Amino acid sequence: MKAVILRVAKASLSIPNETKESISIGRGLVIFVGIDKKDNDATLEDFAEKVTNLRIFDDENGKLDFSLKDKNYEILCVPNFTLCANINKGRRPSFENVMPQDAARKLFENLIILLGARGLSVKSGKFGKTMVINTECIGPVNLVVEI
């Protein structure tokens, strides 16, 4: 599993031609999630634990000392299969290591459930859809996580 985590003041997501409503969060994290062929339920557990307790928010001295759970902030999870692309050869990404769509969708949905079960407020994008994502980043504080 590969993820890019952005610390945000707010973020929103919409799906063109599908709905006029947008999904939005206040302060928290936007997490772009890529699921590859080797991922499983144990990978999800490890990732959920990492995200829940990752100390990525500032204390009064500017030190990264608080987690999502500490601050009761929100998460916007966005499925992003291109994170698992291999770009080592040629000019076009190879997606040979990406988990097939139906299996990846199930794992992504399970990840949302696991994060919510940890007491986090989680919203998500829609698997397999093109989305318009707007973020207002704070920092910038952006992390790449591989589990």
One digit per residue, pLDDT tens: the chain, 147 residues? 999 999 999 999 999 887 677 899 999 999 999 999 999 999 999 999 999 999 999 999 999 999 999 999 999 999 999 999 999 998 999 999 999 999 999 999 999 999 999 999 999 999 989 999 999 999 899 999 999
Task: Look up residue 70 and give its two tokens.
Answer: 């500490």
**Cβ-proximal residues to 143 (8 Å cutoff; 6+ apart), any chain:** 4, 5, 54, 56
pLDDT at 137: 96
pLDDT at 17: 84
**Cβ-proximal residues to 83 (8 Å cutoff; 6+ apart), any chain:** 2, 3, 4, 32, 33, 34
**Longest pairwise C-alpha distance within the chain:** 47
pLDDT at 78: 98
Looking only at the bridges linking them, the beta strands covering 28-34 and 74-79 are: parallel
Looking only at the bridges linking them, the beta strands covering 23-25 and 57-58 are: unpaired
Task: Look up residue 69 and give its two tokens.
Answer: 């759970």
pLDDT at 19: 67
pLDDT at 20: 73
Task: Look up residue 115 and give its two tokens.
Answer: 């994060």
> What domain range includes position 134?
2-146
Its pTM stands at: 0.94
Q: How far is CA 18 from CA 13, 101, 103, 133, in A?
A: 12, 20, 23, 15
pLDDT at 92: 92
What total of structural domains would you count in the chain?
1
The CATH number given to whatever domain includes residue 14 is 3.50.80.10
SS3 string of 10-54?
Answer: EEEEECCCCCCCCEEECCEEEEEEECECCCCHHHHHHHHHHHHHC
